[in-house]
Amino acid sequence: MFSVKTLFPAAVAAMISTAAFGADLPMPQPVYQQPVVAEPCCANAWYLRGFVGVGIMNRTSFDFERNPGNGPTDFKIQHNAIDDTTFFGIGVGYEFNNWFRADVTAEYRTKAAINAYGLFTNPQGSANLFGDQFTGSIHSTVVLANGYIDLGTWNCLTPFIGAGVGVAFNTFSDLVDTGIAESGSGMGHNPTETHLAWALHAGLSYAVTQNFTMELAYRYLNYGSVKDSINCIGGAAVGCAFADSFKVDNLSSNDIMLGFRWRFPPSTGIVVPPPAISTRG
């Protein structure tokens, strides 16, 4: 039979043998995962934008402004109309967070044709009725600083509203005054005037990718006025001694716009530290 005296030395010898065998095995090595670079949530980002659209012009006023150096007249504009226009533009902006962004845009608005006519008696109060027919066009360059509020995103669709303020450079070109039932005509000077412009926006954007967005928007744009005077040729009935002026006032438009935005997110993201060390036996 085995006694305690014989079992104890045997157990000690077995432990020493196991330790010596374990010392010959390779030590377990730590395993690291590669660091992960993650884009920060709702990171600030610059963007470029471009847009095209159609401007549905509101009714404007075509005002006759008599030069004080001319005699009295009962000339009065009877009718005026302005055609719709098209426009295209570019801009650069910045997303401050996931609900507010701002940009600066510049656009060119193509020529909108103007037609008007007026009637008068000569001399004033007589039964003889005369008139003038006016044709011309207005084109503009508009620069706006805009701010937008994004109202939340559902299935990549984001409604937004916004407002803008800036300047408009309006050119009154090719103004021609043709006498009706009288001889004579006149031409304008093609002036360009600078006026305050402001806008209200509403639209819907669609995120095609994380950095490319299409948008369809409505904008009300008010961009001031422009005035020209007439150089008479062969004598026109209205204001030949001193040039009278004709002012197109309250230039405003309901714009339908199709555009895109291309984001430039930060070039570096957040480096996520590696997870805790794990070992393999």
Average pLDDT over residues 223-228: 96
Domain positions in the chain? 44-265
* Sequence-separated (6 or more) residues with CB below 8 Å from residue 1: none
Reported as a pLDDT band with limits 50, 70 and 90, residue 128 is: confident
Residue 271 reports pLDDT greater than 70: no
Residue with tokens 């009637």: 119
Mean pLDDT lowest for which of 79-83, 190-194, 242-246? 242-246
Nearest-5° angle of CA 108, CA 63, CA 237? 115
The phi, psi pair for 171, rounded to 5°, reads -115, 125
Question: Greater confidence, 216 or 2?
Answer: 216
Distance of CA 56 to the CA centre of its chain: 17
E-state strands within the chain: 30-31, 36-38, 45-57, 61-65, 76-82, 85-95, 100-121, 129-150, 157-180, 185-187, 192-207, 212-222, 226-229, 231-233, 245-249, 252-264, 270-272, 278-279
CA dist., res. 264 & res. 258, Å (int): 21
Tokens of 238: 């209205």
Residue with tokens 């209200």: 200
Residue 226 reports pLDDT greater than 90: yes
Residue 135 reports pLDDT greater than 90: yes
Residue 13 reports pLDDT greater than 70: no
CA dist., res. 77 & res. 36, Å (int): 72
pLDDT score for 267: 63
Question: Greater confidence, 59 or 223?
Answer: 223
151, amino acid identity: L
CA dist., res. 165 & res. 161, Å (int): 14
DSSP assignment letter at 273: P
Tokens of 22: 């374990």
Residue 4 reports pLDDT greater than 60: no
pLDDT score for 38: 46
CA dist., res. 268 & res. 132, Å (int): 67
pLDDT score for 3: 54
CA dist., res. 264 & res. 99, Å (int): 17
pLDDT score for 131: 86
Average pLDDT over residues 102-125: 90
Average pLDDT over residues 189-207: 97
Residue 272 reports pLDDT greater than 50: no
Residue 29 reports pLDDT greater than 70: no
pLDDT score for 41: 47
DSSP assignment letter at 12: H
Average pLDDT of the residues of the chain: 83
- CATH number, span 44-265: 2.40.160.20
Residue 89 reports pLDDT greater than 90: yes
